[in-house]
Amino acid sequence: MPELIRNGVRIDDSFAEAFDMRATGLIITADTLHWARQAALSMTGFATSIIACGVEAGIDAECDTTPDGRPGVRVLLFAGSTAELQKQLQNRVGQCVLTSAGSACYAGLEGAERLKLGDALRYFADGWQISKRVGERHFWRLPVMDGEFICEGTTGLTKSAVGGGNLLLLGASREATLATAEAAAHAMARVPGAILPFPGGIVRSGSKVGSKYKAMIASTNHAYCPTLRGAVASALDPDIASVLEIVIDGLSPEAVAEAMRVGLATCIARGPEQGVRRIGAGNYGGKLGRHHFHLKDLLA
C-alpha cells in the first residue's frame, strides 16, 4: 500500500469507512461534577459497539452552563435504529441516572424528532409524578428518597450521525504505541460532537467482518495481529510490534473528520521514536459505509 511520510511517520494511502447512525444527547447534572460524571460513566458503561452492546456512548464534554445551573456533562448515544436508541436511552437513564445521588437529566440535543426521557420514566413515580412546563420545555418531577428527580420530557434525535471513523496506530513496542494512542485519544476527545466509545478511547481487539465460526459476525483482525505474522497474510511491517485502534462516532461527518485530523496531528507531532511509526485506517473496500475519510485529505 502506498505511503506518505510526515515527520518520519508513515501514513497509509487509505481511508476509514464509516456508517450512518442515529444519535441523541442528554445533559446530566448533579450537586457536584463528580456525581454528574459518576452518573454519566455508569450510563455509558458497556456501550463500546452496537455489535454486542446495542448502543455506542460516551461523555462528549463538561457543560459550561446547564438548565439548573449546576455542574453537568453531556452524554451522546449512537445506535443503528431509532427503536434501539429509544430502548437504550430509557433503560440507561432509568438504571444509571435516576438512581444516581442528586442527579437531574435534560435534553442535550435539539431536533424536530424527539425521543422520550421523562415521558417514559415518569411511571416510576407510581402516580406521584408532577408535570411542569417552562416556556416551550416540558419537565417531570419524580419523588425519590433524596428529594426529587427532575427529568425533561424528551430530547432531540438526529439521523445525520456517523459511526465507525477510525485510526490504526502501528508502533515498534506496546508501551510506546499505547503512550501515543493515549495522547491522541485525549486530544480527540476534546472535539465537540464526537466521542471515542471504547475504554479510554482505545481498542486493541480490532475486528474484521465474519469468522470461520458461523455464529460469529466479527472476529479478530488477523492481518494486524503481530503474533500471527508468518502464519497469515500480514499487513504489518517488520518493525511493527503493536497495533491499537481509535474509533470515533460523531454527530456529523465533520465532527468525525475533525477528530481524525486531531488524532493524526498528535501522532505525527510525537514522531516515530516516541511511539507510532505508521498510521492506517480500517475499511471494507468502500462497499459497506458511505462515509470515507481519506487520511491524505486529513493531513492538511
Checking phi first, is residue 66 left (phi over 0); if not, alpha (psi -120 to 50) or beta?
beta
Alpha carbons 75 and 106: distance in angstroms, whole number: 11
Alpha carbon distance 144, 154 (integer Å): 20
Beta strands in the chain, from DSSP E residues, in sequence order: 3-6, 9-12, 15-29, 56-62, 72-79, 104-107, 114-116, 130-134, 137-144, 147-152, 154-171, 194-195, 207-209, 218-220, 242-250, 276-280, 291-294
Cα distances (angstroms) measured from residue 133 to each of 39, 57, 139, 179: 25, 29, 6, 49
- Residue 247's Cβ-side half-sphere holds a number of Cα atoms within 13 Å equal to 25
**3-state SS, residue 233:** coil
- Which residues, in sequence order, are CB contacts of 182 under 8 Å at separation 6+? 200, 202
Its CATH class, for the domain covering 22-158, is alpha beta
The ranges of the chain annotated as CATH 3.30.70.520 are: 3-18+161-298, 22-158
pLDDT in tens, the chain (300 residues): 557 999 999 999 999 999 999 999 999 999 999 999 999 999 999 999 999 999 999 999 999 999 999 999 999 999 999 999 999 999 999 999 999 999 999 999 999 999 999 999 999 999 999 999 999 999 999 999 999 999 999 999 999 999 999 999 999 999 999 999 999 999 999 999 999 999 999 999 999 889 999 999 899 999 999 999 989 999 999 999 999 999 999 999 999 999 999 999 999 999 999 889 999 999 988 888 999 999 999 997
pTM of the model: 0.94
Q: What are phi and psi of 92, to 5 degrees?
A: -75, -40
Class of the 3-18+161-298 domain?
alpha beta
Instruction: Yes or no: say if 76 and 63 are a contact pair by the CB < 8 Å rule.
Output: no
